[in-house]
Chain A
Amino acid sequence: MLQIRNLYAYYGKIEALSGVSCHVNQGEIVALIGANGAGKTTLLNALCGLVQARGKVTFQGESLLAVAPEGIVARGISQVPEGRQIFALLTVAENLELGAYLRQRRRQRPEIAADLEKVYALFPRLYERRQQAAGTLSGGEQQMLAIGRALMARPRLLLLDEPSLGLAPVIVDSIIETIVNLRQQGVTILMVEQNARTALSIADRGYVLETGRILLSGPAADLLHDRQVTRAYLGKDYKEFTEGR
């Protein structure tokens, strides 16, 4: 579905991704894990056209890199950004409708209304609070809203950036459950997580990123099993390894 070859991304002169190659198959949950600053979010932003990038990215056979962000959404990729980034002053319902912004222009009102129902069915809490200003929601509810808003664009591929960040463990569980549900409904998911254990427990495959490079990849169960190895690659034990002998 999504194929990435030799992707480089830059913030000014700083190279944040140094030749990343990876892929996501239809119907998969793929986790990108790695420490702070490894380039996980940059990768998602590069896919959405939000940072300057070069390389070869194809989505369902079509090249993606020269496409403007709204064109990428139109092709079926939606991002749930880190820290939710909802519109705090707008109501829950308004936030969700904004998610269908591109479709509003195409006059798909009945379909949008039906999707709104689906999102409310997925997150009954959002229905209860549909008239409330989004800024008054709890962290978990805001995360639900951010996911719901992304779903309103009817994505084929959903990019989730740190969905568990700053949430209480019990809320994390319910978000994770939602992600598994979404996959069952046919949405393909690429998620970024610092919390490797959570992400790998539901993912099919995973990639371990470090300073803009992929160091390990494989079935999520194997990476989870090899957490020790993963940690060694994530920097902590590295010095011990080379200098201790």
Chain B
Amino acid sequence: MPDWRQEIPSREELELLQLERLQSTLNRAYRQVKFYRRQFDERQLRPNDIQELSHLARLPFTTRADLSHNYPYGLFAVPLREVVRIQSSPGTTANPVVVGYTAGDLRFWRELTARLYRSAEVSKDDIVQIILAAGLNNWARDLKDGAEHLGASVIPFANLNFAKQLMVMRDYKTSILVTTPSYARHLIDVMETMGLVAADFSLKRAILVAEPLTPAVRDEIAAGLQVSLSTAYGITEVLGPGLAFSCPENAGLHFSEDHFLPEIVDPDNGAPCDLGVPGELVITTLSTTAFPLVRFRTGDIASLQAEACPCGCPLIRLGEIVGRCDRIFSVGGIKIHPDQVGSAIAEILSGHTPRHRLRLGQDAGLTYLDIEIQMDENLFSDEVKCLEAIGRRLRRYLRENLGIDSRVALVEKISPDPE
């Protein structure tokens, strides 16, 4: 466990630290990023008008659309020469999300990810195996870096099938498994078909990332792998998974508020929500230098709990993510906007977008996107082969561009929503 008394001496000192870091972040954003300067100027504000943490509410939100408009480098706050990593993720609009990191940002991020591991009681003596989908490459890299920074022995993500992964897990005596809830369930499935049981492995703990974890799935995985579970929360726009993390008490996620300021707001009118009331999570970065974000709307619905946690960590707790306030949904941990699928269909059908519906499907624990496309006269073809090709091309397009698995069916009439 981290020594919290050393990292965060008291609530009062934490708040001063947050204020200091917030003010310097705003000074930098105002000075270096035209977008933020305009946001201030339009409201006749200056960075030094933000004298308390609560004054942050005077500033407007930053949305995914703002990131898209400023694609690719518009929101960078340091010269590109100082940027050592440029990371992009598919995002949820037409443009990918591009995030830059200075060497210092990466260093600080590794420390934060290592803290996530320490809070999950992972140490130098552990063997950490990371199994994540290709669409979660950024997460896989950060989780690898953090575990290496901690000094654990890391088996990074590799393009192996699940049976091989299980063989590695057994033979290399992996003690910590890092994966998504759907992958964990699938691994349990594969174990059964291979005739393996939990006792064949040396696993102590699974750290489940990228997807919300329902109590039923939690119990299923804990029983199937015979491990304790930890979870972590993050969004691609501020790099990976160290944003919030569970502790041994498993009562919500501790939010890294020494480096990111959380707010919960009403998704409809933007008004702040009281502690304990669920609303949209809004994040302001306090420590990153290359890519500061001011009041970024995550779209995730959760609440903040101020009561002290029995684990001794003074960081405020974020409740489980209970949903989204936009149409973005997650396919095995990869966030997708329905419009992205719509434009993929249009791309395949040369501009034509027939009626379609999207559902999540499950196959042996793995999540895939189930797409039904309604036939119409534009689409109708005598050649069955052509119709098959549409499905094949769409599946490939989604795999290559968004990193998700899908199944496509062309139907006469799309099935109605179940009640």
Interface residues of A (CB under 8 A from B): 3, 5-6, 18-19, 21-23, 25, 210, 213-218, 222, 225-226, 228-229, 232-233, 237-238, 240-242, 245
Contacts and interface: CB of A to CB of B under 8 A. Distances in A.
29 contacts: A3-B16, A5-B16, A5-B51, A18-B48, A19-B47, A19-B48, A21-B19, A21-B20, A23-B16, A23-B17, A213-B47, A214-B23, A214-B27, A215-B27, A217-B21, A218-B104, A225-B104, A225-B107, A226-B82, A226-B102, A228-B81, A232-B78, A232-B82, A238-B32, A241-B78, A241-B79, A242-B32, A242-B34, A245-B73
Contact of A241 (B19, B27, B32, B48): B32
A36 B63 CA distance: 38
A214 B104 contact: no
B346 to A, nearest CB: 33
B6 to A, nearest CB: 11
A226 B21 contact: no
Given A19-B51, A23-B16, A228-B82, A218 B287 contact: yes
B28 A240 contact: no
Given A218-B104, A222-B107, A21 B16 contact: yes
Most chain A beta-carbon neighbours within 10 Å: one of B27, B51, B102: B27
A229 B51 contact: no
Contact of A215 (B17, B28, B48, B82): B28
B104 A213 contact: no
Nearest to B81: A228
Dominant secondary structure of chain B at its interface with chain A: helix
Most chain B beta-carbon neighbours within 10 Å: one of A21, A225, A226: A21
B217 interface: no
Contacts of A217: 20-21, 24
Nearest to B9: A25
B108 A222 contact: yes
B67 to A, nearest CB: 18
A60 to B, nearest CB: 14
Given A214-B27, A225-B104, A232 B79 contact: yes
A214 B50 CA distance: 13
Given A19-B23, A216-B28, 16 more contacts: A3-B16, A5-B16, A5-B51, A6-B48, A19-B48, A21-B20, A23-B16, A23-B17, A213-B27, A213-B47, A225-B107, A226-B102, A226-B289, A229-B102, A241-B78, A241-B79
